[in-house]
């Protein structure tokens, strides 16, 4: 088969050729986006899930859905553990306000929101030069230097500007777990104010399974302010569709047995399904594609996943952190007791705490409940068993 025409996409955040198993999520988003510019009540959303399940793909699809509507302005950013929230928001908010300003309408509230942004930029010491319009100072708006209050003022001004043009605004944020606790609290407070005032601005974020806990720690009412849909592995039916449809669209038949083996070997995780499809397309030169063909490329797929998906996550870890993960992998089951890890390593559970905290911060593990840890990367235990330290 022509490698140039290979439709599969085993790349971070890349849209697969067949976006299977997410229909109910997209229907929820259709309603969400439709209600937003009408100032109908919507709950902000935090999608949670392991690495490689398609959270970023989902956010990108929501971005396209919002852009296609024309009356919902998406503001997209990816959180980083090394950049403050205010700095990350500044440029996307500026571009959004200038887009709102170009829409039809009087625009007085747009000018106020741009002035608020100028004030906000001063408090976080970010400069853009001319932000787009000659402005009078807006004293007392988003200029206190306290993010909790300034973010509310700024996003309120943005939402009011959008409402003036009969538009809505959706803040799309990936990797939300990297936002610091204080900044997350400010963000939660701002979303709460949007909801209280029925302003047409809401948030859809995505991150690791620790998000509900982080939100609850930031503000107790966050449990009611957000919904927390879990983006998980695909069902058997959706997995088979994800592997089969791209081949069928190219006139290539893949047998039921082959599709079933891909489902089992991939665990239903979308990224892994894409890797299997990509390698089958490149290395099998005839059809139909059979179960034996899938077994033939097994080693190639494993090598690619080890090198491009798993190993890169280990390279930035310390030896003690690697030892922690290797010990986790020596146990069966997804959730491992901290006490068992400590016993096997021969140290106290208290002494193990800093390693656990560091690995949670790095996004390698999370705590599904008190005293337990689990990998954020699917099938990572199998990789570690194949590659002992």
Q: Are 142 and 45 in contact, with CB atoms under 8 Å apart?
A: no
Q: Residue 112: its pLDDT value, please?
A: 72
pLDDT tens per residue across span 310-349: 998 898 899 999 999 999 999 998 899 999 999 999 999 9
> In this predicted structure, what is the pLDDT of residue 282?
95
Q: What is the pLDDT of residues 225-256, one digit of tens each?
A: 899 999 999 999 999 999 999 999 999 999 99
Buried b (16+ CB within 10 A) or exposed e, 366-380: bbeeeebbbbbbbbb
Q: Which of 311, 333, 348 is the last residue of a domain?
A: 311
Looking at 191, 210, 227, which one is the last position of a domain?
227
Please check whether residue 191 lies inside any domain of the structure.
Answer: yes
Q: CB neighbours (10 Å) of residue 149?
A: 15
Last residue of a domain, one of 227, 250, 271: 227
Angstrom distance (rounded) from CA 288 to CA 158: 55
CATH of the domain at 138: 3.40.50.300
Instruction: Tell me whether residue 2 is in a domain.
Output: no
Question: Is pLDDT above 50 for 135?
Answer: no
Is residue 12 one of the residues assigned to a domain? no
Beta strand 44-48 with 201-207 is: parallel
Q: For the segment 26-85, what is each residue's pLDDT rounded down to a tens digit?
A: 999 999 999 999 999 999 999 999 999 999 999 999 999 999 999 999 999 999 888 888
Is residue 144 included in any domain, yes or no? yes
Q: Are residues 355 and 308 in contact, defined by beta-carbon separation less than 8 angstroms?
A: no
Cβ atoms < 10 Å from Cβ of 253: 12
Strand order in the sheet with 72-78: 72-78, 168-174, 201-207, 44-48, 226-227
Q: Does residue 9 belong to any structural domain of this protein?
A: no
Clarify whether residues 345 and 214 are in a common domain.
Answer: no
Q: Does residue 14 form part of some domain?
A: no
Alpha helices in 220-337 (DSSP H): 222-225, 236-249, 256-266, 270-283, 291-296, 298-305, 311-314, 319-329
Together in a domain, 74 and 187: yes
The DSSP code for 233 is P
- Please give the residue range of the domain that contains residue 306: 235-311
Same domain? 172 vs 45:
yes
Say yes or no: 254 and 376 in one domain: no
Same domain as 60, residue 199: yes
170 and 148 in one domain? Answer: yes
Q: Three-state SS for 305?
A: helix
- Window from 72-76, 304-308, 385-389 with minimum mean pLDDT: 385-389
Strand partners, 336: 373
Residue 384 near residue 377, CB atoms below 8 Å: no
297 and 202 housed in the same domain = no
Distance CA 83, CA 308 (A): 26
Q: How many Cβ atoms from other residues are within 10 Å of residue 330's Cβ?
A: 15
The mean predicted confidence, pLDDT, of the chain is 88
Write the CATH number for 258: 1.10.8
Q: What percent of the chain has pLDDT over 70?
A: 90
User: What is the model's pLDDT at position 96?
Assistant: 82
161 shares a domain with 29: yes
Judgement on whether residues 267 and 150 belong to the same structural domain of the protein: no
- SS3 label, residue 202: strand
257 lies in the same domain as 137: no
Query: Same structural domain for residues 71 and 192?
Result: yes
In percent, the amount of the chain with pLDDT more than 90 equals 62
Q: Which residue has the tokens 């090598």?
A: 303
Number of structural domains, the chain?
A: 3
Identify the pLDDT of residue 145. Answer: 59
Is 4 part of a structural domain of the chain? no
Supply the DSSP string of 16-80, one letter for each residue.
Answer: PSS--S-HHHHHHHHHHHHHGGGT----EEEEE--TTSSHHHHHHHHHHHHHHHSSEEEEEEE--
- Please check whether residues 52 and 145 belong to one and the same domain: yes
Global pTM value? 0.88
């Amino acid at each position: 088969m022509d490698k140039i025409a290979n439709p599969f996409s085993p790349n971070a955040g890349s849209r697969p050729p067949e976006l299977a198993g997410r229909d109910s999520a997209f229907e929820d988003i259709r309603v969400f986006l439709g209600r937003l510019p009408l100032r109908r009540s919507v709950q902000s959303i935090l999608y949670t899930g392991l690495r490689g399940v398609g959270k970023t793909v989902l956010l990108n699809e929501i971005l396209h859905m919002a852009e296609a509507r024309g009356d919902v302005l998406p503001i997209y950013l990816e959180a980083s553990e090394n950049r403050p929230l205010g700095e990350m928001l500044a440029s996307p908010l500026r571009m959004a306000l200038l887009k709102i300003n170009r829409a039809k309408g009087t625009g007085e509230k747009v000018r106020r929101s741009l002035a608020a942004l100028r004030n906000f930029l001063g408090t976080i010491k970010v400069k853009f030069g001319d932000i787009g319009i000659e402005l009078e100072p807006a004293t007392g708006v988003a200029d206190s230097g306290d993010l909790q209050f300034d973010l509310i003022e700024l996003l309120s001004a943005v939402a009011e500007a959008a409402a003036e043009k009969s538009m809505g605004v959706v803040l799309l944020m990936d990797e939300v777990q990297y936002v610091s606790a204080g900044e997350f609290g400010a963000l939660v407070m701002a979303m709460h104010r949007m909801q209280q005032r029925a302003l047409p601005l809401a948030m859809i974020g995505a991150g690791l399974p620790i998000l509900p806990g982080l939100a609850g720690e930031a503000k107790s009412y966050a449990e009611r302010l957000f919904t927390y849909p879990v983006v998980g592995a695909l069902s058997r039916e959706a997995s088979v569709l994800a592997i089969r449809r791209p081949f069928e669209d190219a006139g290539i038949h893949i047998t039921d047995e082959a599709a079933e083996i891909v489902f089992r070997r991939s665990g239903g995780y979308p990224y892994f399904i894409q890797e299997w499809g990509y390698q089958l397309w490149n290395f099998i030169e005839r059809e139909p594609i059979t179960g034996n063909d899938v077994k033939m490329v097994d080693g190639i797929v494993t090598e690619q996943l080890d090198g491009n998906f798993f190993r890169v996550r280990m390279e930035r870890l310390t030896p003690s952190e690697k030892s922690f993960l290797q010990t986790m992998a020596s146990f069966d089951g997804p959730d491992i007791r901290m006490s068992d890890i400590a016993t096997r390593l021969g140290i106290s559970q208290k002494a193990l705490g800093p390693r656990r905290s560091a690995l949670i911060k790095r996004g390698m593990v999370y705590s599904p409940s008190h005293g337990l840890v689990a990998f954020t990367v699917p099938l990572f235990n199998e990789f570690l068993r194949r590659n002992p330290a």
